[in-house]
Amino acid sequence: MHLGSFGRPWLLVSLLAGVTVSLVAHAAGDPALGKKKFYTCYGCHGVPNYRNAYPDYRVPKLRHQHAAYIVAALQEYQAGTRSHPTMHAQASSLSEQDMQDIAAYLQGPEPIQPTTTMVGRMPPQVQVCAACHGANGTGVAAPLVPKPPILAGQHEDYLIQALNEYRAGRRIHPGMSPEDYVRENPIMMGMAASLKTEADVRTVAHWFATQRSPLATATADSR
C-alpha cells in the first residue's frame, strides 16, 4: 500500500474535521523531493560495497528499507543516541520533513513484504529473531512499533557491526537512558540473552545476509 496515494483525501478529511494539517506532513514523505535531498548521500550509500574506515565494514544498503525504520535511524544519529560521527553530521542538517521525504524515496511505493523462502538451514540462534524479523529477515506481517528493519540481503559485515553496537549498549532511542532501553526494549534483552559469543553474532549475520530480498544499494538509478 502506498501511503502517498492517501495524502489528498486525508488532507481533505483533516481540513473538514478541523484537525491540524501538520499531522499530514508527518504521515508521508514526498519521494520526488526525497530523491533530491538524498543527493549528498549517494557518495557513500549509492556506491556498491562502499566501506566505512576504522572500523572497516560496508555502509548499509538503504534501497527498499522500511521508511519508518530509516526515519528512526536518522533521528537516533541526530540525537547522538546512535553514535557515528559522519552520520551524526549528515543527519544534523536534516529536518523532520527531510527525513520523511528521504525515507519515502528509499523505501519506494511498495514496502518489502514478508516471505517464507529460506536459503539453507536456519541456525538455532535465529529462532529468537524470527518473531520480529521473520526467519529469513524479510519481516513479519504484524504491524510492530518500532518497525524492525529488513535484514535479508544486508551486508554481513554491517550486520556484525550493528549487532556488536547493540551488545555494547550503544544504540538507544532518543530520550532513553541506556537503563531504560535495556528494561523497555525487548530487542536488546533478546539479543543480549541469546547472542552470547562472537561466533553466535557471525552465525546470525551470515544467515540474514545470505537470504533473498529486494534490499539494495541506493544508486541514483535504483528503483
Binding site for ligand HEC (CB under 6 A): 40-41, 43-45, 52, 59-60, 62, 70, 72-74, 82, 84, 86-87, 90, 102, 128-129, 131-133, 146, 148-149, 151, 154, 159, 161-163, 171, 186-187, 190-191, 194-195, 204
Q: Are 221 and 48 in contact (CB under 8 A)?
A: no
CB of 105 to ligand HEC, least distance (A): 9
- Phi-psi category of residue 189: left, alpha or beta, with phi > 0 → left and psi -120 to 50 → alpha: alpha
Output 11 or 41, the one with its CB closest to ligand HEC: 41
Q: Are 81 and 176 in contact (CB under 8 A)?
A: yes
Centroid of chain to Cα 21? 27
- Taking the CA atoms of residue 186, residue 188, residue 189 and residue 195 in that order, the dihedral angle to the nearest 10 degrees is 130
* CA pair distance 13, 11, nearest whole angstrom: 6
CB of 173 to ligand HEC, least distance (A): 7
Output 112 or 159, the one with its CB closest to ligand HEC: 159
CB of 19 to ligand HEC, least distance (A): 29
Residue type, 45: H
- Name the nearest CA neighbour of 116 among 152, 87, 86, 147: 152
CB of 114 to ligand HEC, least distance (A): 14
Q: Residue written as cell 529460506?
A: 118
Output 24 or 58, the one with its CB closest to ligand HEC: 58
Output 102 or 104, the one with its CB closest to ligand HEC: 102
CB of 49 to ligand HEC, least distance (A): 12
CB of 17 to ligand HEC, least distance (A): 32
Collect all residues with Cβ–Cβ distance below 8 Å to 57 and sequence separation of at least 6: 51, 155, 157, 158, 160, 161
Output 41 or 182, the one with its CB closest to ligand HEC: 41
Output 10 or 57, the one with its CB closest to ligand HEC: 57
